[in-house]
Structure 1
């Protein structure tokens, strides 16, 4: 089935994407450690945001799920199991599993809360005493990627629900005193165009990372991007074959980094410097400190290191902090530059 789908809708290879290194790095690090908290990608129209996000989902290794389960439940990880699977295991049922591609779920702009969270069939519950649940997009996205294009145009109430689920890893639906809870662990990826309005600061702060995308100005690089895209559109299969080796290499690097992650250490003095930077920049709360530590560890694992060093922190800290700075309309420099200046002072 997957092979047929791939033939019908081939996906542009992630390693064939030219430029946009900041966006690519943010996505890779969130895939290595989903607890970083997702990424908000803001940038000009037509800069390949959607293409890149679909490409990272296609690159990832298949995951093992319990067959015929609505929530992509893990067979052995208790935190990634639905209540139905837990009950089956407690009753010593023999569960079968299957391999599926990492779910990539798009949230349409006009989605309702029911479409996002799922619905409980009240009539069936009252008449038959059975909890009947029609899963929403949060169920389908469990253990995958949930992509919201134009997130800055999405209703704030839905953004709140998304961010709560992404942070807690669970979705709870309550209707008429009946409650159903299911695992909902996913990498939340939002994208938008700043010309169409910014997200409220308290919502923006909940995204782990913030990547800024600019239109490439260099003429030769623009030609390279156009040629790469044209080649793919004309013959997708040969383009996919051309980048097959690079794709497999990156996939293996990500798998290795995921297994290394738990053993990565970060020196106490470096943690102090990260918090010092957050303090100087007047970052509210401790999310900035926590996310920078996580992202630095994920980057160290990606580099196949055992310990985080100063260069790892420098590589990720702007992505983790630029959207947490208080906006000052009189500022002449952008927040990313401001972060870089303080980082250079403290980590030089």
Structure 2
């Protein structure tokens, strides 16, 4: 009698747990806020090499709860929200054809630096369209990323035209491909996360402004923390299963907190006086356009929801305003003051916190 081999219980590759990541609070907060409210507009993470940018983003995608999608649909169509459905799924609903619904992990798509526009946006097979009279569309990375996270490492080295395409899709929630008079569009609502190293060049200001939040991360300097990070990494590498199980309760608690925040978000309010003060800060810093005001409001509401509150406080604004504005300030090559410090100073002045500290 031959013994039958049992399949391993967990075949999915294990990811380093989000709650096990030491430090880098600014980056973690910016990512969580974008997951709670994707309309914040993504996050740009700038910092030194080897500071765990990719690890943190993959860990966040792995932490998120599974989503319901229409089976065999290349766009991860939402079975209940028409704005997140492909045309084919919408037609099925109109004809009252029942949808087959399955659950899957939130997609996390890596955009390689050498990607072409066709690979990103998808392609239309003109020959098939002309000979068979059907719209033959080969979906690209934007289709895969719908309702998920699209991660671009070294975004400052990516072709400006491609960055434009990504930001347009992220802002509108749709991707349109046109060729030879044939046009196809599909939902492409995702959290855009870009990372880069400032030494390798800055992103153009008009592109940088399109990212909702901007987190700066630095190499951990404290020796004790550095040792803790190294030990955690080797512990994970030697036994990933055991390490993940150790952090499972924390992972589940954070996941629950994010789900509750997403539900609570529509009820969160921000006082008119606070909205006026946010705009005063933007005005004092000479921020172009209104994107800074909008993102600060959204991020403050998301933070209040994350902490289980329905009213935004001054402290919520203080914690997000630097993330929302530091990359929107005009660069003065002769000025040595860090942009984050300028935002904090303007915030304290407008909100009258300097006076409180002096007394």
How large is the Cα RMSD of the aligned pairs?
Answer: 1.1
SS of 1:233's partner is: helix
Matches within 5 A, 1:202-217: 202-217=206-221
Structure 2 distance, partners of 1:98, 1:176, is 36
Distance 1:303 1:214, change over 3 A: same
Pairing 1:121–2:125 present: yes
The 5 A counterparts of 1:250-261 are 250-261=254-265
**Is 1:108 paired with 2:92?**
no
Query: How far apart, CA to CA, are the structure 1 residues paired with 2:93 and 2:12?
Result: 38
1:200 counterpart residue number: 204
Secondary structure at 1:329 match in 2: coil
1:83-119 residue CA offsets vs partner (Å, 9 max, x unmatched): 0000011011011110000000000000000000000
Query: Are residue 282 (structure 1) and residue 286 (structure 2) matched?
Result: yes
Q: Structure 1's 97 and 310: CA in aligned 2 closer, same or farther, altered over 3 A?
A: same
Given the superposition, is the C-alpha separation of residues 177 and 134 from structure 1 closer, same or farther in structure 2, using an over 3 Å criterion?
Answer: same
Name the stretch that deviates more: 4-13 or 199-208.
4-13
1:15 aligns to 2:19 (yes or no):
yes
Q: How many pairs are equivalent?
A: 346
- Compared CA separation, residues 278 and 250, structure 1 to 2 (3 A): same
Deviation track 1:254-273 (CA, whole Å, cap 9, x = no partner) reads: 00000000000000000000
Residue 330 of structure 1: how far off its partner (Å) = 1.0
Corresponding residue of 1:160:
164
Q: Distance in 1 between matches of 2:41 and 2:97?
A: 35
Match of 2:78 among 64, 74, 79: 74
- Which residue does the alignment assign to 1:183? 187
- Aligned mates of 1:7, 1:211 — CA distance in 2: 34
Q: CA distance change for structure 1 residues 171 and 4 in 2, over 3 Å: closer, same or farther?
A: farther
- C-alpha distance after superposition, 1:24-46 (max 9, x if no partner): 00000000000000000000000
Match of 2:140 in 1: 136
Cα distance change, pair 273–331 in 1 and its aligned pair in 2 (3 A): same
Q: What secondary structure does 2:258 align onto?
A: helix
In the aligned structure 1, how far is the partner of 2:257 from the partner of 2:309? 12
List alignment gaps of at least 5 residues for structure 2: 1-6, 354-359
Residue aligning to 1:266:
270
Displacement of 1:55: 0.2
TM-aligned CA distance change 1:6 to 1:327, over 3 Å: farther
Q: 1:63 aligns with which of 50, 62, 67?
A: 67
Distance 1:276 1:4 in 2: 59
Change over 3 Å in CA distance of 1:165–1:129 after alignment to 2: same
What is the aligned counterpart of 1:243 among 233, 243, 247?
A: 247
Instruction: Show the counterpart of 2:35.
Output: 31
Structure-2 residue corresponding to 1:53:
57
**1:88 is aligned to 2:115:** no
For residues 274 and 52 of structure 1, what CA distance do their matches in structure 2 show? 30
- Per the normalisation by structure 1, the TM-score is 0.98
Q: Which has the larger radius of gyration?
A: 2
Quick check: 1:340 aligned with 2:344? yes
Q: Secondary structure at the match of 1:243?
A: helix
Alignment partner, residue 357 of structure 2: none
Unaligned runs of at least 5 residues, structure 1: none
SS in 2 for 1:105: strand
Cα distance between partner residues in 1 of 2:32 and 2:284: 28
How far the C-alpha of 1:9 sits from its partner, in A, is 2.0
Tell me the distance in 1 between the aligned counterparts of 2:261 and 2:12.
Answer: 32
